Amino acid sequence: MRSLAVAHESWPIAGTFTISRGSKTSAEVVVATLTEDGVTGRGECVPYPRYGETVAAVMTQIEAMAGEIGAGLDRDRLRSRMPAGAARNALDCALWDLEAKQAGRRAWSLAGLAEMKPLVTAFTLSLDEPAAMAAQAARSADRPLLKLKLGTADGDIARLEAVRRAAPKTRLVVDANEGWRPEQLPDLFRACADLGVELIEQPLPASDDDALAGLDRPIAICADEAAHGLDTLPRLIGKYDAINIKLDKTGGLTEALMLAEAAAAQGMQIMVGCMLSTSLAMAPAMIAAQTASVVDLDGPLLLARDRDPGITFDGSIMQPPPPALWG
């Protein structure tokens, strides 16, 4: 019989991480651990206040599944028993890890995929004043892909210009975190195009993004806060050119793989991202990211310390996770 344990962990950030909605100095994660016949599987999630989640509520959701997990609940039935979100993600990934270890196979093999390859991840620059963001960019100018946190439109063009001067050769993507307004989009899109930005994440609030439908844009627009599980895909069509798949939104790797396939069939560009978390959360996301055109799995690089063992990073190149970590 499988047993379930749930724990809250706090991981310090290297400095302060700021987006348009606020700042934080630690990553608050919840870890679900499943044990059966001496074999253990783990999954990590990040309760996200933007989606009405708290650490306490997510832990309660997970603990409420103990009986069903103990009775043999599998990943397919888990999708029908819990809504998409952080709690289901932790359990889904713990099931993947447990199954892989029990079978003596890697999780990518269980998923029917080719052997995992190293990936190049974006590196995120925290929202700040233009000069401070330029300093961040200068320190990271050797990285191949930078992601800029923006979202206060009145100063965002100045931030973009400052970062581009500091990192003239680096590929750029922008994350507005729902912070722009429809009337500002033409000027902001034009500035992004002029400065070589390749992708813009969630320029408008997810609940008020109708202005994107049919809007002229020189750059691909990516759904983030607007994209969760499979059921959210239909409302994105015609508004977005790309989708940012995060396991904490899809409710785990199982649905993330399904969503990636469905979105690609609609001609959407695939991005795989993460919440601020450790290598234990990045490991399953790397499976979903194997065919993504943009990878944003830099969570451990933003922490003061990571798990041991964790994912090995050579600059922005991340190696497949060791079996002792996950999968």
Catalytic residues: 149, 246
**CA distances from residue 284 to 40, 96, 116, 152, 325 in whole angstroms, order as listed:** 16, 9, 11, 32, 10
Helix (H, G, I), strand (E, B), or coil: what is residue 228?
coil
Alpha-carbon span 183 to 187, nearest angstrom: 9
Q: Which two tokens stand for residue 169?
A: 């050769």
Alpha-carbon span 245 to 239, nearest angstrom: 16
**Long-range contacts: 22-28, Cβ < 8 Å, 24+?**
24/276, 27/275, 27/276, 27/277, 27/278, 27/299, 27/303, 28/55
DSSP state of 229: S
**Residue 314: in which H helix or E strand, if any?**
strand 313-314
Alpha-carbon span 309 to 261, nearest angstrom: 31
DSSP string computed for 250-304: HTSHHHHHHHHHHHHHTT-EEEE---S--HHHHHHHHHHGGG-SEE---GGGGBS
Alpha-carbon span 319 to 279, nearest angstrom: 11
- Quick check: bond before 309 cis, omega within 30? yes
Helix (H, G, I), strand (E, B), or coil: what is residue 7?
strand
